[in-house]
Structure 1
Amino acid sequence: MRPSRDSGGIPLFQVQLKKLPGNEDVLLPRRMSELASGFDLHAAVTEPVILHPGERRLIPTGFAMSMERGLEAQVRPRSGLALKHGITCLNSPGTIDADYRGEVKVLLINLGQEPFTITRNERIAQMVIQVVPEVELVEVEELTDTQRGAGGFGHTGTK
C-alpha cells in the first residue's frame, strides 16, 4: 500500500465505488464540507421506510466498494439525526473490511419518541475511511507491568 500524496502532502488513497443496478439516481458518498472526515451515506430505499421507536432496520445505500489492503471503512451515526430524532447506528462504528464487495448497508435504530421516515437519497449515516496497521498477535507467558495494571471499568476516575 503506497498512497499518493495530495498537494498538502497528506496521503491519498483510492477507494472505488460502484452504483448497483436500480440505484442510478442515488447519490454516492460525499463529504459535505471541505475538511469533513466522513462521507455522508444516502438511503437507497425503493419506498419510504418508517422506523418506529425502538425499531431497527437495515437500510441499503445502493453502492458497493473496493478498498486496498490496509484500509477499512467505518459506518457511524450522523450527529444531526441523533440529536433531532434519536436515530443512530447499531454496531457503531460498523466496520467494512477491505475484502468485502457487497452492498454497503446501514443498521439504524430509532431511540427517539416518534416514528421517523427514511426516504430515498436521505443522508442516513457517515463513512470514515481509516488505515489499519499490520498487526501480529503473539502469545506470551507474562505481560509487561504498568501503573494501571489490571484496573478496569471506572478505574481511572469516579465519574
Structure 2
Amino acid sequence: MRRIHVWLAMLALIAGIGSLGPTAAAATPYCGIHWGSLEKTNPTTADSSAAGVRAGRHECFDRMVVDLAGPATGYRVGYVPVVHEDGSGFEVPLRGGAYLQVVVFAPAHEVPANRREVVGVTGYDTLRQVAWANSFEGQTTLGVGVRARLPFRVFTLDGPGGGSRVVLDVAHRW
C-alpha cells in the first residue's frame, strides 16, 4: 500500500511540473512587440520625393524616418546579406550584425553630405548605421546596419502639411 501512495505522489508531482512547464516557459513578447523580421512591402506609388532622413530613440525600439515632400508612397524593407548601391551594384559597407535594405518608392533630388552616415545613430540600442545606397529610377535606397536580426515594422504617416513619412521601427530585442 505504501508503494502505491509513493507512486501516486510521484505521478502527481510529475503532472504538476508538466502543467507548469509550458506556462513558465512561455515568455511574453518584449514590450508587446509582435512584428517579426520578414520583409515588409507596400506597393503604393505616389507623386512624392524623399526630402530627408532622421532617427530617434524610444523605450522599446529605435526609429528611422524618411520624410517625403508629398503624399505617402510605398516601400520595400527587408534583411539582406549585403546592401548594394542602386545603379552601380557596389556594396554599401555597414556596421552591425544584420543589414536592412530600405527602398522608398520616391526619388531623392539631393544626395546627403555624408553618404556613409546619413543620420547619426551613435549610442542607439539597435541602430548602428544609416547609409545612402542611391536614388535611381524613381526610388531611394538606404542601408541600415542593426545590432542583430531583430523584429521591425514599417508604416507611413501623413503630414505635417502636404508631406508624409515612411517610418521604420526596429525593436531593441525579441
User: Which TM-score bucket, shorter chain as reference?
Assistant: 0.3 to 0.5
Question: What's the TM-score once normalised by structure 1's chain length?
Answer: 0.34
Task: Please state which structure has a larger fraction of its residues in helix.
Answer: 2
Q: TM-score with structure 2 length normalisation?
A: 0.32
Larger Rg: 2
